[in-house]
Every structure is written in C-alpha cells, then in structure tokens.
Amino acid sequence: MRIESEIHRVGADDTHLHTSPTITVGGGSITFNALGSTSVDPGNISYGDSNAIGSGGMIPVGTTFDLQVNQTTPSVGIATASATLSGTITTTSSTVRLVFSTTTFTIGGATYTIDQPLNGIAIVSPASNTGLTTIQGAADTVVPEPATWLMLTLGFLPAARYVPNRSRALSSNAQGG
C-alpha cells in the first residue's frame, strides 16, 4: 500500500491542509509533522508526529485537528480522521491530549486504525523524549495489489498446464499404451 498523510491546521480559523502545521501556545509551540508519500506494509504504521518546544501554555478545549490519509495503491482514496486537542503544556509536563472521534477508517479494501488510549494520545512536553510524540496505528488490506494478482496468476500457469498432461498420461497408461 502507498499512503501519504496531511494534517489540517490546528484550530477552526484555517481549513487548509499543511504538512507541518504549528499551534503556538504561550511561550511555546507544537508542530505536527505529517507522513510524506511512502509505501507501507500491512501492520504497524506511523501517521506522523508532533514536536513540542518552548515554555508552553494552554490549548483551549475544542481546538480541532484533522489527519487526512491519501491512499494511492491498491486503490485511490482519501479519508479524514477528526480529533480535538486540549490541555496545558510546560517545559517539563503536559496534560495535552489528542482525541480522535473515530479511530478506524477504510479506503478501498484497506482498513486503517489509530492507536489511541481511552483518554487520548498524550502529547509529551519538550523535556520528555525531546518533545516528540508519534501518532501510530495499523493498516490491513484484504484486497491484493495488482502485482500480487499477477504473481499468483503466473505462478499457477505451470500447474494448470501440468494437470491436463498428467490426466492424458494416466488415461494412456490405463489403456495400455
């Protein structure tokens, strides 16, 4: 599968998609870094990360956050997972949580999930993990990619050719010849 993530600017005042939108809070900021175009295998994936810097401040309740996933293979499609972001962040602590309203979405035959604890994804302070928080999840597909179908088809051709020859040989042996 091949996907690309984009993140809507945090807040209701900007509806444009950005690959690295930043929200400034007090004396600090949180920048969200989307995943560039990349191939992913079914299993665990990263949708992007956030990086908190500075002395921090309070993020008001109801601040919006949209994660958009653009899938280009095995089929083309787009899905958006909406979330809210709120809490207080300082240089050494954070109560900021990113809470998605839905953590599962499907594009074509691929199902994506976002790993989210019950109280949301904790956005860490600059003192923890250098301020880096990753939005993780999983991808699962039940629809094989076109290349997989081609390999399966080509793999069965020799077997299909062998079956009629084998039955003719058995028939010939049974008739004594």
Mean model confidence pLDDT for the chain: 79
Q: What are phi and psi of 159, to 5 degrees?
A: -65, -40
Up-side HSE of residue 75: CA atoms within 13 Å toward CB?
Answer: 13
Inform me whether the pLDDT recorded for 99 exceeds 80.
yes
pLDDT category at 93 given cuts 50, 70, 90 is very high
> 3-state class of 150 per DSSP?
helix
Burial of 26 (0-12, 13-18, 19+ CB in 10 A): middle
DSSP state for residue 153 in the 8-state scheme: H
Structural domain spans, the chain:
2-143, 146-177
pLDDT for 20-66, tens place per residue? Answer: 678 877 777 888 888 777 887 788 888 888 888 888 888 888 788 88
- Helix (H) or strand (E) holding 24, with range, is strand 22-25
Token pair 């004396």 in the structure block, residue: 27
pLDDT for 125-162, tens place per residue? Answer: 999 998 999 999 998 876 555 666 666 666 666 666 66
Task: Pick the more confident residue, 116 or 171.
Answer: 116
Q: What is the reported pLDDT for 19?
A: 57
The reply to whether omega before 74 is within 30° of 0 (cis) is: yes
Q: What is the reported pLDDT for 97?
A: 93
